[in-house]
Structure 1
Amino acid sequence: MPSASPEGDVCCEVLIVGGGPTGLFLAALLARRGVGVIVLERRAAPAEHSRAIGLHPPALRALREVGLERTAARVGARIRCGRARSRGRELGRLRFARAWPGRPYVLSLPQSRTEELLADRLAESAPGALRRGREVTALRERADGVEVTARRMGEAGETGSTAEPLRLRARVVVAADGSRSTVRELLGIGTTGTEHRDAYLMGDLADPDSAGAEGTGSHGVGTDRDALIHLEPGGVVESFPLPGARRRWVVHTGRGDLAEPRSEVLTRAIRERTGMRLDPGTTSMISAFSVRRRTAQRLVTTRCALLGDAAHEISPIGGQGITLGWLDALDAAPLLARTVRATAGGRSSRGPLDADPAWQRLERVCRRRARVAGLIAHANTALGRPLPGPFAAARTLGVSIALRTPLRHVMAWTYSMGWARRR
């Protein structure tokens, strides 16, 4: 359990920086193992926007470890089938039942709701472990732990100038603070990778009614609905169900500058490419984003470890990010528990983590998994780029053939992250 040192510092066994999906999930895992954990989150209040939505079957299995699989499945939208279309014609379908008989769907659940479920579960196991509105400003590794300084942040993200900084001591620090990781920067760890010029618009809108072109109708929470992928010459249009009779739309807007994130721009692109008319007035979230693929040069240091987007960033196309971070956490949790207990007992794990074969193996596993996910995400990105007529026709023909042969089972296994199945 966290405690105070004679110097007034807060002490804990594991300090997690970042209260997003990866940080909260890891904290819940550690709390269930009896590890004293604190989570520092820069945001003073929970996020309101949906952001990432995809929970693949390995993520659902991970949620079982913290007792949340059934809850998530009950409140999310289950995607059992993906349908590819082009110019108003269906090219074929992918179903996930063969790849994952026990979990034959990808769950669509807004990240804000996922974080809420995890934060509530953490509060049950470790009340007060999540400290919101705290930004790490300094970090110093020692042979037997890490000293961290954090400052208070206001509701709008501004620095609280009058508050005393919080000083913490932890045996291990985990950076789960995203692709722009402060901890990674403080540790002096660089990244390598590629910046892509693919630009997208993304928005959440009301689901078309039952007479609409999709034929899905308006559905409530916890229903089964299809994902739609429109492969059009002007660029891909993706559509995924959300809970509460809404859908997530993602539109490729070219390779260059980001489009203006306005609902009218998004719905116009959807109408021009697919013929579907959506009401921009029903938009609850709109954003523009580009794609990059980056990996930290080191994932493990003397007493720190990087997980999730802090360790590896891939294209969000395909929605593998949350699942990837949770798989990192599942592999890291037993190592963290072993390390803090060995440190407390004065045994060999007082040495540098990056010299420990088990932590070296974890780094290799995380890198390999991120590399595979990155290749798949890059393929998804390339498949949805704008193409001139003859090349777009060739793409349509190729996808149509693939979805009518046994290759569709391999595609379903790949897209549902069957390759990431843990033994």
Structure 2
Amino acid sequence: MADVLVIGGGPVGLFMAALLLQHGVSVRILEQRTGAEPHSRAIGIHPPSLDALQGIGVAPDLVAEGVPIRRGIALGGGSRLAEMSFAGVSDRFPFVLALPQSRTEAILEERVRQLDPGAMRRGVRVTRLHHDGGQVTAETGTGGPAARYTAAIAIAADGVRSTVRARLGTPVRAKDYPDSYLMGDFADTTGFGPDAALFLESAGIVESFPLPGKLRRWVVRLADAAGVGDPGSGTDARWLVQRIGERTGIDVDPGSNSMLSRFGVRSRLARRMVTGRTVLIGDAAHEISPIGGQGMNLGWLDAVALAPVILASLRGEDMGMKIRNFEIGRQAAAARAARQSEINMALGRPLPAAAWSMRNRAIAAAAAVPAVNGFVARRFTMQ
């Protein structure tokens, strides 16, 4: 028995739990993984999220380990097209923080354990969820005897393949995109330091982001979603290094590769986030393209918006209008993020030489206007 069940112990579920625990709410986190995920796909923490993470006391630890990216540089054809400073996007955190998701999760889990050592339950898979008047019950299977967890409210933060969403029968608006990427982490040999670099090339975009430990993440847009003409692109670090060299002129050591992942792009927006006394947040509610790093950050902002609604409900207040306003507001935010993601992807697609040259000239001209540059910086950092 608990006040709130949080289903899913990733970065969004852990943050949601910490928000509630520090207000004295009893929380149980049900996570089907038996251990932490060592690989990291999400690395960018935006200023609004850092403000939120400051609220549970972990922002200083995250900033101490991460790389603050204070500037983005756009290049094309060997020339610098534009620079974008994040200096004006936030008074407290004027940067995007680059930190592997595995470390972000570890710091969040440690905070949860400080607040309640028994809150996290690993190796627990929810097999059934049902509402009974003023409470919700999750039935689980762990390979041993089944267990039941009952609470006033359940919050599902169990990711893009959400078991809870499937159990509730929540309809989803789905869209698949003709885009495919290969990314990998390598020793940093660029000289860019803490800057992010976007290479807007005719063959497709190459993105480069600094990471702690003198590493750098490279993301290469493939020829098409099926990988036609890209032999070996799904598994070979040498292939990725060759594409980086061809498009950017930068030599990267394939032997320094520490992570390699290929991914396609799609969006999945749940048509409702609230069913009975269960609320979907994060990727369970809205899967957004990873381009721009918006998914994890969007989930954290879901949690910030939901926490006061949950607290009011536990005090006995009527949450009907509050939860409806939450749902409307967060669905609108997810739709905006999806549109921004589409714009980001479109800018990175392969183009014939003439169209590529025209696009890059237009980007350079727009970036030279301070108001436009500032607007883009705010949008990129989810302001």
Tell me if both proteins adopt one fold, taking TM over 0.5 as the criterion: yes
Per-residue CA deviations over 1:144-179 (Å, capped at 9, x if unaligned) read: 111111122xxxxxxx2xx11121111111110011
1:87-110 Cα deviation digits (max 9, x unpaired): 211111000112223311000011
Alignment partner for residue 265 of structure 1, among 235, 239, 242? 239
SS of the equivalent of 2:373 reads helix
1:403 aligned to 2:360?
Answer: no
1:215 aligned to 191, 203, 219, which one? 191
* Alpha-carbon distance in structure 1 between the residues aligned to 2:242 and 2:126: 42
Per-residue deviation at 1:262? 2.0
**Range 320-329 or range 226-235, more displaced:** 320-329
Structure 1 stretches of 4+ with a deviation exceeding 4 A read: none
Alignment of 1:69-80 (within 5 A): 69-80=59-70
Q: Distance in 2 between matches of 1:99 and 1:113?
A: 25
The amino acid of 1:181's aligned partner reads: S
> 2:213, 2:147 → 1: CA distance?
40
Per-residue CA distance 1:197-256 (angstroms, 9 max, x = gap): 200001111111xxxxx3236xxxxxxx10000000000000000011001111100222
Give the secondary-structure state (helix, strand or coil) at the position aligned to 1:254. Answer: coil
Alpha-carbon distance between aligned partners in 2 of 1:302 and 1:142, rounded to the nearest angstrom: 10
Structure 2 residue 370 is matched with structure 1 residue 392: no
- Aligned residue number for residue 186 of structure 1: 167
What's the offset of the Cα at 1:193?
A: 2.5
Does residue 61 in structure 1 map to residue 51 in structure 2?
yes
Q: Secondary structure at the match of 1:336?
A: helix
Q: Cα deviations across residues 302-340 of structure 1 (Å, max 9, x unaligned)?
A: 110000111111111001112111110001111112212
CA distance in 2, matches of 1:282, 1:76: 20
Say yes or no: does 1:109 pair with 2:109.
no
Contact persistence 1:96–1:412 (CA under 8 A): yes
Q: What whole-Å deviation, never above 9, does each CA across 1:108-158 have from its counterpart, x for those lacking one?
A: 011110000000000000111111111111111122111111122xxxxxx
Q: Secondary structure at the match of 2:60?
A: helix
State whether residues 142 and 303 of structure 1, in contact with CA within 8 Å, keep that contact through their aligned partners in structure 2. no
Q: Deviations over 1:369-396 (max 9, x none)?
A: 1111111111001100011111111111
In the TM superposition, 1:180-259 aligns within 5 A as 180-208=161-189, 214-216=190-192, 225-258=194-227, 259=233
Shift of 1:341: 3.1
Name the residue aligned to 1:299: 273
In structure 1, the residue matched to 2:251 is 277
Counterpart residue type for residue 347 of structure 2: L
Asked if the contact 1:143–1:302 (Cα under 8 Å) also holds between the matched residues in 2, the reply is no
Query: Partners in 1 of 2:313 and 2:27 — Cα distance?
Result: 13
Q: Which amino acid aligns with 2:159?
A: G
SS in 1 for 2:180: strand
Distance in 2 (CA, whole Å) between partners of 1:75 and 1:280 is 25
Alignment of 1:20-419 (within 5 A): 20-152=10-142, 160=143, 163-208=144-189, 214-216=190-192, 225-258=194-227, 259-342=233-316, 349=318, 356-406=320-370, 407-418=372-383
Q: Quick one: distance in 2 between partners of 1:184 and 1:45?
A: 23
- Cα RMSD, aligned residues only: 1.2
Amino acid at match of 1:99: V
Alignment gaps of 5+ in structure 1: 1-10, 153-159, 209-213, 218-224, 343-347, 419-423
Distance 2:236 2:56 in 1: 38
Q: SS at the partner of 1:255?
A: coil
> In the comparison of the two structures, how many residue pairs are matched?
377
Write the distance in 2 (CA, Å) between the matches of 1:67 and 1:102. 14
The CA distance in 1 between the partners of 2:133 and 2:213, in whole Å, is 51
Partner residue in 1 for 2:230: none
